[in-house]
Amino acid sequence: SFHTARTLHMIAVPFLLAVNWILIPYNIFSEGHGLMGKISHFVDHYIFGPKDLARLVGIIKNFFGKGEYPAFTVYDEKTGHYKTKLHPLMKILIPLEGLALFLITVSGIVLYKLDWSLFGLPVAQWIISISGMIAPTFGMTPVGFLRVLHLLMTYWFIFELVVHVGILEFDPRVWKYYKAIFWSGKEDLSDRHFVEVERHNPNHLPDRELWRDPSDKPSEVKE
C-alpha cells in the first residue's frame, strides 16, 4: 500500500543521507595532510581532468579492439599514495549523483511536509518560494514542479547506480575491489589488471633492494 511504501521510504532516507552526506565526504576529506593536501587529494581522486580524458579515450579505443584497457588505479610507489583510483567515467557520474541526491533531498522536504521547519526556520517555505521562480517556466505549480524534479532525479540516481555497479564493475577482474572494500581493506597491486604502479630510480627502492651488489649472482644476494 502507499502507506507502507511511504514508511519504508522514510526509513531509508536517513541511511541514504548518512552514507552520501557524512561517510563519503568524511572519507574524501580525511585523506591528505593539511588543507592543500586534502584539496589536492580531492582534485586528483574525484575531479575529471585531462589525464582522465586520456584514459577514457583509451577505454573507448579498447572497446573497438584498439590497444589495452588503461589502468585507472595508479599508485606511486615513492610516496606510498594513489594518484587516482577511480574509473574516469565515475569521476563524471559521482558529482552528478551528488547533485541528484541534493535535489532529491530538497524536493523531498516539501513533499514530506509543506510547512517543515528546522530550529524555527521555515525551510519548506523557502524551497517552495525558490521553486515558484522556476515552475512557471514549465507551466507548473511550485509543488508540482518539485514532485516532477524529485521523480526525475530518482530515476537518474537509479540509472547511475546501474551504470556504477552493474556495468562498469561487471568484470570478474574487478571483484578484487569488492574484496578490498568489504573484507581485507587492501588492494593487491601485483594484479596488473587496471593497475599501474609508478616506480622510481634506485634511490627510492626499499633498503632490502639497495643491499644488492651488481656483481652478486642471484644466489649470493645479501639479505
pLDDT tens per residue, range 48-77:
888 889 988 988 888 788 888 888 788 777
The cell for 218 is 642471484
Average pLDDT of the segment spanning 213-221: 41
- pTM tops 0.85, yes or no: no
Angle at 113 between CA 129 and CA 154, to 5 degrees: 80
Residue showing cell 507548473: 140
Whole-angstrom distance, CA of residue 46 vs CA of residue 87:
10
Average pLDDT of the segment spanning 33-38: 76
More confident residue, 31 or 138: 138
Confidence of residue 94 (pLDDT cuts 50, 70, 90): confident
Lowest average pLDDT, out of 23-37, 40-54, 172-186, 201-215, goes to 201-215
The cell for 94 is 559521482
Burial of 32 (0-12, 13-18, 19+ CB in 10 A): middle
Whole-angstrom distance, CA of residue 194 vs CA of residue 173:
9
The cell for 177 is 575491489
Whole-angstrom distance, CA of residue 101 vs CA of residue 89:
18
The rounded Cα 75 to chain-centroid distance in angstroms is 17
pLDDT tens per residue, range 161-208:
887 776 666 666 677 777 777 888 877 777 666 677 777 665 554 444
Whole-angstrom distance, CA of residue 177 vs CA of residue 156:
25
